[in-house]
Structure 1
Amino acid sequence: MLQRTRMARIARKPEPPASPRATARRPAPPAPPKRPRRAWRWLRWLVLLTIWGGVALAGLLVFLTWDLPRTDLALTTTRRAGVTLEATDGRIIATSGDVVGDIVRLRDLPAHLPAAVIAIEDRRFRDHFGIDPIGIARAAYVNFTTGRVAQGGSTLTQQLAKNLFLTPERSFRRKAQEAVMALWLEWKFSKDELLEIYLNRVYLGAGAYGVDAAARLYFGVPASRLNLWQSAILAGLPKAPSRLNPRSAPEAAAGRAAEVLDAMADTGVITARQATQAAEAIRIPPRPSRDSGWFADWVMDDLGSRFPGNADLVLRTTLDLRMQAVVEARLEALLAGPGQRARVGQGAVVAMEAATGNIRAMAGGRDYRSTQFNRATQARRQPGSAFKPFVFLTALEAGASAQDPVADGPLTLGGWSPGNGAWRPRGEITLEEALAHSVNTAAVRVLQRGGGARAAIETARRFGLPGPFQRDATIALGTGEVTLLDLTAAYAPFANGGLLPDPRGLASARADGRAVPVAPPASHRVTTPEAAQAMRRMLEAVVARGTGRTAQPPGGRAVAGKTGTTQDFRDAWFVGLAPGSGAGLVIGIWLGNDDGSPMVDVAGGTLPARLFRDILEGLAQSEPPNPPGGG
C-alpha cells in the first residue's frame, strides 16, 4: 500500500521548467504565408477568364458574322431592274422595279442636301466611329422619359450597313450585325465616301433608290438642281418612305420637311429665317397624270420581249401630259354631271396622231385607282353605227360614189327588218346622206352593193379590226366586236391618205444609259388616197349636218367623225378626226357601263360627241401662247 502511494506521487510530480538556453535552441515553427497564394489564385482566374472570354467573344463574332453577305457583292448591289416611263417632255409618269438615277458626287450636289440628311439623321456623323454612344444614351433617355420609342440611336453608317447588307428584321442579332458592319464601313471608307454611298443608295419611296432618282421622280429635276425645300423633303423620306411619299401624302411630306428645316437651323447650317421661308415656299407638284396608269400598263405589257435582259430602262413615251390632263378632266366632268344623270358609269378615250400612230392620251376608265381594267384596250364591245364607214368604204372601192342614190325605205331580209328610229323615209337619198344620218335600211343596201357581209369583214380586217363579226347583214349595223384603240386606229387612214399606222407608245429608249433602237412609226396602205379622201368628206358631213352635229367645236374648224349606238343604249361611241399638225388627231370615245346595263337615251351623237367637242375646246385653251416674234 505504501509502495503504491509513493509511486502515485512520483507519477504526479511535475516536470522541471525548461532552462532559457534550451528554449532558445528550439524556436516555434513560423505560420505559412497566405498572401502570395491568394494572389496566385486571382491571377489564375484572370488568365482563365481572359482565355474563355476570348473564346466566347470569338464565338459571338462567328455567330454574328458567319452568314453576313460578301461585302464586295453587296456593294455592287443586287436589285430588280428598273423601268422608268417619261412623257414627251421628260417628266416621269410611271416606274416599275427599282429605279436608280445617275451616280452623284458631293461636289455636284447643292450643299444643303447632304447637310439636311446629316441634320435630321445623324448630327454627330463626322465625329463618331460608326456607333454613337452619346446618341444611343440620348435616345434611351428620351424614350424612357416619354414612355415610347421617340428617338432611335442608329447612326447614318448603321443605316447604310442595314440598307446595303442586312434585312429589316428587328432582333438583337441583327442590330449587333449592323454595328459590326458599321465599324467595317468606317474602317473601309472616308466620311465623304460613306455619305456619297448613302445618298446614292438610300430608298426614298415609289421604287426610287438614291437622291437623283427621287429628285427626278418627285420634282422632275436632277439632284444637282434641287432647291432647299426639295432637299428637305428628300432628307425626311428615309424615316418612312411610303407614309411620307410626296405624291401620295403631300401634307405629311411637307410637315416632315419643316422638321428637317428646323433641324438644319438648330445645327447652324441655315438661319431660322431661311428655314421659315423655305417651309412657306413648299409647293409639292401634283402627279403628272392621275390616270396615265392605263397608258403605262399598255406600254409595259410586252417590254420583256422587246428589251430582253436585265438592264435599267428609261423609256421616252408618246404621251402628251397636257393632252392627257385635258382628257382626264373633261371625261370626269362629263361623267360627274350629265353622265351621272343619264346613268353612265364609265368611259374611255384614246387620242392618236393619224400620221404616226403615236398615242398622245389614253383614259381607260374613270379612275385608275379604283380599277386597272383598261376599257380602251381590253374591252371588246359592239361598235354600232361607228362601224358603218367600213361598209360604205367597201361600196366606194367597188365603184360606188358618195352621191349615188340609195333607197331608205323599209327592208326585210330573212325575217329580219332593221329599224330607222326617228328617220322618216324619203324614198332615195345619197350615200353621203345615208351615212350622215346613219340610216340603217340604207346601210344594209349599201352593204349589199359592196359585196355583202364577207366583203365588209375583209375591209374591216384590212383596217386592223379582227372581230369577231357576224357573217350576215346585221354587220352593217355594227354587230361585231371591237376595242376602242383598234377602232380609233382604223379611222386614221381617212385622215392619212389611206395609210393605217400601228398604234405606238414608245418614242425612244435607253438601257443602262445607252440608247437602244425603238421601232420607228410604221404604216401600211389599206385603201387608195382617193377613197380615203371621199370617206373623209362623208365623215365631215356627219358632223356638219348629221348625227354628229354636237361634236362641232366653235370657230368653224372642219372636223369629221361618226357616231355609234348599240341596242337599248348600252354603248355609245364617237370617233372623230380633228385638225392638227400633220394629218391631225383621231380621238375615239366610248361611254357605257361595265355590267352592260342601259344608259338613259345616251346615243353616240349626244354625250360622246359632246365630250369630243369639250376635249377640242380644252386643248385649244391649254395651248401655250406663241413666243414674241413667233410664227
Structure 2
Amino acid sequence: MARRDIPRRPDGGRSDPTDPKASRQPSAFRRWMGRLFMWGLGFAVLGVVSLAVAVAVTTQSLPGYQGLKSSQTGQMIVVRAADGSEIVTLGPSYGKWIPYERIPQPMKDAMISVEDRRYRSHWGVDPIGIVRSVMVRVEKGAWRQGGSTITQQLARNIFLNNNKTFGRKAREWVLALALEQKFSKDQILELYLNKVYFGGGAYGIDSAARKFFGHAGEDITLPEAAIIAGLVKAPSRYSPTADADAAVGRAGVVLKTMQDNGVLTAQEAAAVDFKKVKMVSDTEGQNSARYFTDWALPQLDILLPENDQPIEVWTTLNPIMQRAATNAIAGFAPKGTQGALVSVDRDGAVLAMVGGTDYVTSNYNRATNAVRQPGSSWKLFVYLSALEAGYTPDDRVVDEPVTIDGWTPRNDGGRYAGEIDLRTAFAYSKNTVAAQLGNEVSFGQVANMARRFGITTPINTLPSMVLGSSEVRVIDMVRAFASVQAKGMSVTPYGIRKVTTTDGEVLYQHRPESQQQLVPPYVAAGMTDLMQTAVNIGTGRAAQIGRPVAGKTGTTSSNKDGWFLGFSSGITTGVWMGRDDAKAVAGLQGGAAPARAFAAYMKVATAKRPVEKFDTELKLPQWQLEPDDEAMQGSPDDYFYVDEQGNLVDPARRQNDRDTDTFNPDAYPADQQDEAPAAANDDFLNRATGRQGERQTDPPIGSRARPIPVN
C-alpha cells in the first residue's frame, strides 16, 4: 500500500489535513483586500468629517435670511451707439418680493417638477440626480442632463458664477448643504422664485410676470406658470416675447413633467389652452439693433471676463445706417422670406447689422448664425485664385459647354458666349468659365483661398464647389469682400470700441489687429476691376448708387437664396434673402431684391462720404508680364550656365543677340569662347535669356483646363 505524506506536527506527530485551524489561515490576497477596505473606509470617514466641518463653517458664515433677500445679482449694461446715443439698457429688473404663502401653487409645483422633482426629500444635493446625469453623460458622450438641485442653483446665483469647473461645483455643494442646514425648504424656495433669472433682465417671478404677461406675480395662472418655469433652462431661447412658439413648446414639456410628478392630472394638463394667454409685446425688442447687441455683448465674457460692475459699452453701430439697413431688408425682402444684412467699415467696424425681418417674431440672427449656399458670389474665391495664378481681366477665355469629372455646369438660360475676356465672364457670371478656372487652379486651391479670406464653415472640393455649393455665413462673406477692398489686407469685423464704468473709467479699448497680406495688391486690384464691371454692365446693375460700386450677385438653384455683396467709399455690405426652411422663392435672384436692398442702404450709408474711385490699375510683377511659357523660368539674370567641365558661367558674360533665335558664341571674348559651350538646347537658352522666339498659341479654354490669352 502506498505511503501518504502527512505533514508533521511540531510535537513530532503528523497533522490532520482537515485541521480547522489550518483552513482558517488568511491568504495574502485576502489580507491585502482587507487592508484596502480599511484604508478606503478611513478615507471615506475622513471625507465625511471634512465635509461636515466645511458645511458647519459655511453655515455659520452665511448671511441671514433678510440679508439674502436684499442681495441682488446681475449686471447693468448700457449699450451705446457710435455717436454715444443709448441703444438699450440691459441688466437686472427686480419686481415685488412675494412671500411664500402668496406665491401661486401652480408656480411652485411647476418649478419643482421641472427643476428638482425630489426637492422635498434631499439635503441640498441629490445623489440620484447626480448618478442619472453621469449615466446620461456616459451613454450620450456629452452632458445632456444636469444634476443641480434648486438649492444648488440658488447657491450658484447668489454666491458663485457659471464656470463649469470641479472646484466651483464642490463649493456649490458645500453652500447648498449649508443653506439646507440654515433655512427651511419653504424659505429656500421663496428665495429661489424671487431671485432666479428668467431672461430679458427679469429676476424673480413678479418681474417675469409683469414683463411677459403684464400683471403681478401673485396672479400667475397655470399656463403662465408653465411658460415661466420653462424659461430657467434657456431664458433667451424660450423667451415669450422673442419666440412665442418655442416658449409654448417648452411649456408643454413642463406640463408633462408636472403630470408625471403627480401634481397635475391628465385631464387638467389637457385642459390648458395656451392660446388664451395674453403676452405683452416687447416694444423695445422691435429695434433690430438687438440683433447686433446679441452678437456683440457675449464678447464681453472674453474682453472683461471677471467684471461684474455696472458698465457702458460703446459700440461701432451707426444709428442712421442701422435704420437704413432695417428699412432696406423690410422693404425689399419678398413676402414670406427672411433677410439679413451686415455692413462694415474699412477697418472692420460693424456699422449696421440686421438678422431678420422682425426681431420680435424671431430673434434668430441670420447675419451671424445661419449658414446658406452663396451661389455665384462664391466665384470671388475662384477668380481670386485665377488672378493669383497669373490671369488678368483682359485674358481671353471661351464660354462653351464643358464636363469635369462627370459634372456638366450650365449657364443661366443655357446660353454660351464663345470667346470673351475674363472681365466679361465674371460680369455675366458664366458658370462654364468659373468651372474651367477652378479645375485648372485646382478646387483645393479655391477652398484654400476661401479659408484664407475668413470663411469658417466646412468647404467641399467637388467640382461644383465653384458655383457656391458650400454653405457660408453672411458675416464671413462680408469679411472676405472687405479684404478685397482693403487691397488684399485682412479685415476682422468687430462691434465694441470701448467699455467704461459709469464714472467714465476705461476698462477696455479696441486695438486694431495686425493685418495680413492675403493676396498681392495687384490681385485685389484685378478682382475689384471684375466686380466693378459686374455692377456697371453685368448681373449687379441694380446695385448702382451713382458712385463707383464693386460687387457680385449670388443665386442658388431653384431660387432658394439671393445674395449681393459689394463695396463703395470704404463701406462693404452683404445682403442675403431667402426662407428659413430653404424652400424656393419665386423670382428671387441676387441681382433683384438683394441688389436693390444693397443700393437703398448704401445710398444712405455713403451719403456723407467722399466719392472714391477704385484703384484697378494692374501693377503686375515682372514675371507676369512675360509670356506664360517663359514666365515659369523666372528672370534671365537669375540663370547660371554650367560648361562641360562643370564650371559656372557668369550671366554677365552672356552677350548674345536677343534679336536672333540662335545662341551666338561670338558674343563671348575670344579667350573665353572655349569656356562657354551651351549647356542646354536652343529652346532652353531662348527661354532663359528672355529672347522672344515664335510664341506657340495654346488651345483655348475648353480644349484644356487653362484659359490662356488668345492673341
Residue pair 2:286, 2:359 contacting (<8 A) in 1 also: no
| Paired position in structure 2 for 1:565 | 555
Instruction: Find out whether 1:408 has 2:408 as its counterpart.
Output: no
Matches within 5 A, 1:514-553: 514-522=505-513, 523-553=515-545
Once residues 581 and 603 of structure 2 are traced to their aligned partners in structure 1, the CA distance between those partners, rounded to angstroms, is: 31
Q: Normalising by structure 1, report the TM-score.
A: 0.56
Where 1:524 maps in the other structure, the secondary structure is: coil
Contact 2:553/2:590, CA 8 A, preserved across alignment: yes
Give the structure 2 partner of residue 124 of structure 1.
none
- Report the AA paired with residue 79 of structure 1: T
Structure 2 counterpart of 1:481: 471
Q: Secondary structure at the match of 2:446?
A: helix
Name which one, 1 or 2, has greater alpha-carbon Rg.
Answer: 1
Partner SS for 1:347? strand
Match of 1:575 among 565, 571, 576: 565
CA distance in 1, matches of 2:285, 2:535: 33
2:502 maps to 1:502: no
- CA shift for structure 1 position 466: 2.6
CA distance in 2, matches of 1:390, 1:369: 36
Amino acid at match of 1:326: A
Displacement after TM superposition at 1:69 (Å): 2.1
Task: Tell me the SS of whatever aligns to 1:464.
Answer: coil
Structure 2 counterpart of 1:446? 437
The answer on whether the counterparts of 2:285 and 2:360 sit within 8 Å (CA) in structure 1 is no
8 Å CA contact 2:372–2:471 kept in 1: the answer is yes
Does the 8 A contact of 2:286 with 2:358 survive in 1? no
User: Which residue of 2 is the match for residue 90 of structure 1?
Assistant: 84
Q: CA RMSD in A?
A: 3.2
Aligned residue for 1:69, secondary structure, equals helix
Give, as a single letter, the amino acid of the residue that structure 2 aligns with 1:593: R
Which residue in the other structure is 1:47 paired with? none
Structure 1 counterpart of 2:299: 302
Matched ranges for 1:361-440 at <5 A: 361-422=352-413, 424-440=415-431
Per the alignment, in what secondary structure is the counterpart of residue 583 of structure 2?
coil
CA contact (8 A) 1:289 1:324 kept: no
Shift of 1:532: 0.9
Tell me which of 320, 329, 348 is aligned to 2:340.
348
- Asked if structure 2 preserves the Cα contact closer than 8 Å seen for 1:406 and 1:446, the reply is no
Q: Where do 1:217-296 residues align within 5 Å?
A: 290-296=287-293
Question: CA offset at residue 207 of structure 1?
Answer: 4.9
CA distance 1:472–1:74, change in 2 (3 Å): closer
The 1-side partners of 2:582 and 2:522 are apart by 39
1:615 & 1:423 partners in 2: Cα distance? Answer: 33
Cα separation, 2, equivalents of 1:85 and 1:351: 19
Q: Secondary structure of 1:500's match?
A: coil
**Do structure 1's residue 612 and structure 2's residue 609 form an aligned pair?**
no
Inter-CA distance 606–516: structure 2 relative to 1 (3 Å threshold): same
Question: Equivalences for 1:55-70 in 2 at 5 Å?
Answer: 69-70=66-67
1:600 aligned onto 2:592: no
What is the distance in 1 between the residues matched to 2:211 and 2:495?
Answer: 30
Code of the aligned partner of 1:379: A
Alpha carbons 1:314, 1:510 under 8 Å: kept: yes
Which residue of structure 1 aligns with residue 315 of structure 2?
317
Q: What's the secondary structure of 1:78's corresponding residue? A: coil
- 1:351-374 residue CA offsets vs partner (Å, 9 max, x unmatched): 111x21011110001111111111
Q: 2:653 maps to which residue?
A: none
3-state secondary structure, aligned to 1:422: helix
Q: 2:539 aligns to what SS in structure 1?
A: coil
What percent identity do the matched residue pairs reach? 33
- What corresponds to 1:228 in structure 2? none
Q: CA deviation at 1:459?
A: 0.6
Q: How far is 1:317 from its partner?
A: 0.5
TM-superposed deviation, 1:561? 0.4
**Maintained 8 Å contact 1:390/1:460:** yes
CA contact (8 A) 2:571 2:606 kept: no
Distance in 2 of aligned mates of 1:568 and 1:379: 19
2:460 equivalent to 1:470:
yes
* Amino acid paired to 1:467: T
State how far apart, in whole Å, the 2-side matches of 1:375 and 1:300 are: 17
CA distance in 2, matches of 1:84, 1:170: 36
Separation in 2, partners of 1:97, 1:387:
41
Q: For each residue in 1:587-613, what CA deviation from the matched residue of structure 2 results, as whole angstroms up to 9, or x when unmatched?
A: 100010000110112111111111111
2:584 pairs with 1:587: no
Contact 2:337 2:579 in 1 (8 A): yes
Work out whether residues 453 and 480 of structure 2, in 8 Å CA contact, stay in contact via their aligned partners in 1.
yes
8 Å CA contact retained: 2:375, 2:468: yes
Contact 2:324 2:601 (C-alpha < 8 Å) held by counterparts: yes
Once residues 607 and 171 of structure 1 are traced to their aligned partners in structure 2, the CA distance between those partners, rounded to angstroms, is 55
| Amino acid corresponding to residue 299 of structure 2 in structure 1 | D
TM superposition shift of 1:558: 0.7
Structure 2 CA distance, aligned partners of 1:78 and 1:170?
22
Conserved 8 A contact 1:563-1:604? yes
Q: Indicate conservation of the 8 Å contact 2:534/2:552, yes or no.
A: yes
One-letter amino acid matched to 1:468: P
Tell me, what secondary structure is at the counterpart of 2:509? coil
Q: CA deviation at 1:570?
A: 0.5
Q: CA deviation at 1:424?
A: 3.1
Aligned ranges for residues 22-37 of structure 1 at < 5 Å?
A: none
State the 1:559 CA deviation: 0.6
Is the contact made by 2:326 and 2:354 (CA closer than 8 Å) also made in structure 1?
A: yes
Unaligned stretches of 5+ residues in structure 1: 1-65, 101-161, 173-204, 210-236, 250-285, 625-631
> Contact (CA 8 Å) 1:347, 1:365: kept in 2 or not?
yes
Pairs aligned (count)? 380
CA distance in 2 between counterparts of 1:322 and 1:288 reads: 18
1:423 & 1:510 partners in 2: Cα distance?
59
- Residue 324 of structure 1 aligns to a residue in which SS? helix
Query: 1:427: how far off?
Result: 1.9
* CA–CA separation in structure 2 for the residues paired with 1:206 and 1:419: 50
1:383 counterpart letter in structure 2: P
The one-letter code sitting in structure 1 at the alignment partner of 2:526 is A
Are residues 167 and 88 of structure 1, via their aligned partners in 2, closer, same or farther at CA, if it must alter by over 3 Å?
A: same
Give the Å deviation of 1:306: 2.1
After TM superposition, the score normalised by the length of structure 2 is: 0.50
Distance 2:457 2:82 in 1: 33
Deviation at 1:97, TM superposition (A): 2.4
